[in-house]
Chain A
Amino acid sequence: MQQLNRLDLYREMVRIRQYESRILQEYHADKKPAWDIGAGLIPGEMHLSAGQEPAAVGVCAHLKQGDAITAPHRPHHFALAHGVDMKAMTAEIYGRTTGLCQGKGGHMHLFDPENHFSCSGIIAQGYPVACGQAMAMKRKGTDNVAVAVAGEGAANQGAFHESLNLAAVWNLPVVFVIEDNDWAISVPRSHSTATASNADRAAGYGMPGVRVEENDVEAIFEAAGAAIDRARAGEGPSLLEIHTLRLWGHFEGDAQAYRGAELDTVDERDPIPRYAAKLVELGELTEDQTESIAAEAAAEVDAAIAFAVDSPIPAPEDALLHVFA
């Protein structure tokens, strides 16, 4: 298993949070009228991952060149943690020609073939894709793995079950990650899911299922490392459910009235200040370092946003390029 490097984990979580915080700002900055999601510099819906950084960072710390991730509609944390270029990703979110998909995909459709990263707005759609990638890895005889990420609501889609079944039948090197943030848009798990933990569902497909209850990057790091090592060694698929936290709305502009009192305590449960405090207590992080890590991340994010804003908007006729029909 990879060696635990606390400072690296912390730095990556801060980098992601800086990114999401700035996108949040930029998204709302010029959205007029505020209810028109098509307006402004960043058009379309926006699903930010603040609070879920430990899941992405704990998992991706074990990935190497050639490993694949299929992420869901809330993809930024996994994209950044997996090494997708921040500038190209930001340009895509802004709909610019320098973006990963030349501005045609937007924030839910970030495709980076070089890093084997993709995501989709279609719920659970990444699960079968990861099986395909894992099958290719297996046939090529590499020790690469595919990681499929979805939310707990997605585990009620047929694609989830078909993928677990297929991966088990073919003994594929895939790790199925469920980010359980308690809310499938506005639906709590108890209203949609017949079992309390999707780790239980793994048993039905003959694979190990593990639930990490704490949104703690070190607990996630260990569990993900075990699942990924297992897949690399040819021991087959496994399912890792991570109980994480959606710090903000399902989408930007979501009033979250459905969350009730639970919403009052989200800030106390923010995993990043908690981890910083732990590292300070362990003597592995100083106040100065905290500031310099934040400043470094902010500078990188500023540069990525400046790159996106300065990049050209696609011409109307480009709409007819790179399409099947």
Chain B
Amino acid sequence: MCRAPSPSERNEGRVKRGSSVGIIANPASARDIRRLVAHGAAVTTNDKITILRRVLAGLASTDVTHVLSMTDLAGISAGLWALADKPSAACWPKLEFVDQVVEQTAADTVAATEAMVAAGVGAIVVLGGDGTNRIVASVCDDIPLVSISTGTNNAFARRIEPTVAGIAAGLVATGRVDVGAVVSRAKVLTVESGSRSERALVDVAVIDGDVVGAGAVWDPATISQLFLCFAEPDAIGLSSIGGQVCPTDRFDPAGLVVDIGRPAVRTLRAPIAPGLVVGVDVASVSTLAPGQAVVVRASSGVVALDGERLFRFGRHDRPIVTLGSDGPLELDVRETLAQAARTGVMSVPGRRCA
């Protein structure tokens, strides 16, 4: 069930190459209510700028010539812009910003990603949590994503040092590694409800009641059903529930459906948010096959995507959830650097910072 695919299986999409890399940094990530109801860490704007400096240092060691960054009004792009002409940034690739109307909503991430697709960047570095990656993934086409965790729940993004992530993104964007061998296609859950169609990269949760409120999900008593793309045993977030009853690898073609409530076949403790380990009654677990469309059990409620309550539904627009294999291309940073080690790419002095 947990077999990793061969490189040829992973390389099913056509990877675009170029000498530019996009940067999406969600200024709003890691600031929601989970700092109060759980113990989510703060990742401040200045932290995010520092992370991007490290990404840019990594990119600068490759042949990437241009970086296209999302524009925000929350200080990240302004911070980068202010640094760009400083001596410490002399080796950076040319830094440009997406010319976009900033609405200070998720629409900004969509607009920036679309601009990067149009510009033909060779990779997109994403700073955010599962929610940010979900939005980027909805429009990023076949551009490989390098996701760096700066959110609250980070099941999709893996922990990685930004400098190394920058090097990997640069090597992939410039074709200095065999891209097909270092990217893999993620799974995706599609939720259709009335005229609405949304996608999730990790989990879809059906929540009782009709309150969208502050977004995040932290009360297990409100969850009635979970659909999971994958469920790693050491995950944080809602997918940790599946991770403890039926670990499911991100490369496994199938996903999981977990019904929550009583009578329970098993009650377990699961870390559904940072610092929040709660008791969860699992009523049933079943495999979600690729392409299998499942109607949610509840006749009304709220749908949460990747941990964030998003919309209400009733009996007339009861959601249908389908697991697909057409998610975004994920870049494996470790494999990229391993390949670089084998081929000696990094032994060549960087173009700017030799």
Contacts and interface: CB of A to CB of B under 8 A. Distances in A.
Interface of A: 4, 190, 195-197, 199-200, 202-203, 208-213, 218-219, 221-223, 226-227, 230, 238, 243, 282
B212 interface: yes
Given A196-B74, A196-B75, A230 B36 contact: yes
B35 interface: yes
B114 interface: no
B33 A226 contact: yes
B42 A202 contact: yes
A222 B214 contact: yes
24 contacts: A195-B45, A195-B46, A196-B45, A197-B31, A199-B42, A200-B45, A200-B46, A203-B42, A208-B35, A208-B36, A208-B42, A209-B42, A210-B31, A210-B36, A211-B31, A212-B214, A218-B213, A218-B214, A219-B214, A223-B36, A223-B214, A226-B36, A227-B36, A238-B36
B164 interface: no
Interface in B14-52: 27-28, 31-33, 35-37, 42, 44-46
Interface in B61-107: 73-76, 78, 104-105
A210 B35 contact: yes
A19 B110 CA distance: 40
Given A199-B42, A202-B42, A219 B213 contact: yes
Given A190-B78, A199-B31, A218-B211, 15 more contacts: A190-B75, A196-B45, A197-B44, A208-B35, A209-B42, A211-B31, A218-B212, A218-B213, A218-B214, A219-B212, A219-B214, A219-B215, A222-B213, A230-B36, A282-B210
A243 B37 CA distance: 20
A163 to B, nearest CB: 19
Interface string B113-142: 000000000000000000000000000000
Contact of A190 (B42, B73, B104, B211): B73
A84 to B, nearest CB: 27
Contacts of B76: 196
A210 B32 contact: yes
Chain B contact-residue range equals: 20 to 34
Contacts of A219: 212-215
Contact of A213 (B28, B35, B213): B28
Interface centre among A4, A197, A243 (most CB of B within 10 A): A197
B35 A209 contact: yes
B241 to A, nearest CB: 22
Contacts of A218: 211-214
A257 B321 CA distance: 50
B42 A200 contact: yes
Contacts of A230: 36
A72 B31 CA distance: 24
Contacts of A221: 213
Interface in B179-233: 210-215
A-B pairs with the 10 shortest C-beta distances? A196-B75, A200-B44, A196-B74, A203-B42, A226-B36, A208-B35, A222-B214, A222-B213, A211-B31, A196-B45
B44 A203 contact: yes
A211 B36 CA distance: 11
A226 B37 contact: yes
Nearest to A199: B31
Contact of A222 (B33, B35, B45, B104): B33
Contacts of A208: 35-36, 42
B302 to A, nearest CB: 12
Contacts of A210: 31-33, 35-36
A243 B45 CA distance: 16
Contact of B104 (A4, A195, A200, A213): A213
Nearest to B215: A219
A117 B42 CA distance: 31
A197 B29 CA distance: 11
A25 B45 CA distance: 42
